[in-house]
Amino acid sequence: MENNKKAFILLPDGVGLRNFAFTNFHKIGIENNFDITFWNNTPFQLSELGFKEIKIKRAKTHILADVYKNTRKHIELDLNIIKSKDQVYNTYRFPFSYEGLKNKLKSYSTQILISFYKSEKGLKRIRKKIRSNERKTLYFKECLETLQKEKPEIVFCTNQRPILAVAPIEAAKELKIPTATFIFSWDNLPKATMVIETDYYFVWSNHMKQELLNYYSYIQEYQILVCGTPQFEGHFNTQSLVSRESFFRKYELDINKKYICYSGDDTVTCPDDQEYLSDVAKAVKLLNNDGYNLGILFRRCPVDFSNRYDKVLEDYKEIITPIEPIWKNVNRDWGSILPTKEDIILHANTIQHTELVINLGSSMVFDYACFKKPCAFINYDVFNKINKKWSVKKIYNYVHFRSMSNKESVVWLNSSEEISQKIRIILSNSKINVENAQKWFEKINQHPPELASQRIWNGIKKIAG
Q: Residue 48 pLDDT more than 80?
A: yes
CA distance 254 to 353: 12
90: helix, strand or coil: helix
CA 341 and chain centroid, separation: 16
Q: Residue 102 pLDDT more than 90?
A: yes
Beta strands at 320-322 and 294-299: parallel, antiparallel or unpaired: parallel
Q: What is the mean pLDDT of residues 447-451?
A: 98
CA distance 172 to 166: 10
Question: What DSSP line would sit under 19-38, residue for residue?
Answer: HHTSSSHHHHHHHTTEEEEE
User: Count of alpha carbons within 13 Å of 286, Cβ hemisphere only?
Assistant: 15
pLDDT in tens, 197-251: 999 999 999 999 999 999 999 999 999 999 999 999 999 999 999 999 999 999 9
Determine the pLDDT at residue 1. Answer: 35
Confidence of residue 331 (pLDDT cuts 50, 70, 90): low
Determine the pLDDT at residue 378. Answer: 98
List own/partner pairs for 387-396 with CB under 8 A and 24 or more apart. Answer: 387/271, 387/272, 390/271, 390/272, 392/360, 392/361, 394/91, 395/269, 395/270, 395/360, 395/361, 396/361
Q: Residue 83 pLDDT more than 60?
A: yes
CA distance 136 to 133: 5
- Structure letter (DSSP) for residue 161: -
Q: Residue 420 pLDDT more than 60?
A: yes
281: helix, strand or coil: helix
Determine the pLDDT at residue 335. Answer: 53
Determine the pLDDT at residue 153. Answer: 98
**Exposure of 87 by Cβ count < 10 A (0-12 exposed, 13-18 middle, 19+ buried)?**
exposed
Length of the chain in terms of residues written:
465
CA distance 22 to 18: 5
Confidence of residue 89 (pLDDT cuts 50, 70, 90): very high
Q: Residue 332 pLDDT more than 80?
A: no
pLDDT in tens, 357-394: 999 999 999 999 999 999 999 999 999 888 888 999 99
Confidence of residue 336 (pLDDT cuts 50, 70, 90): low
Find all residues with CB under 8 Å of 338, minimum gap 6, and list them.
Answer: 14, 17, 42, 43, 44, 327, 328, 329, 330
Q: What is the mean pLDDT of residues 418-429?
A: 97
pLDDT in tens, 254-275: 999 999 999 999 999 999 999 9
CA distance 412 to 365: 12
Write down all domains in the chain, each with its CATH number in brackets. 5-61+137-229+449-464 (3.40.50.2000), 65-133 (no CATH), 237-444 (3.40.50.2000)
Please provide the average confidence, as pLDDT, over all residues in the chain: 96
Determine the pLDDT at residue 352. Answer: 98
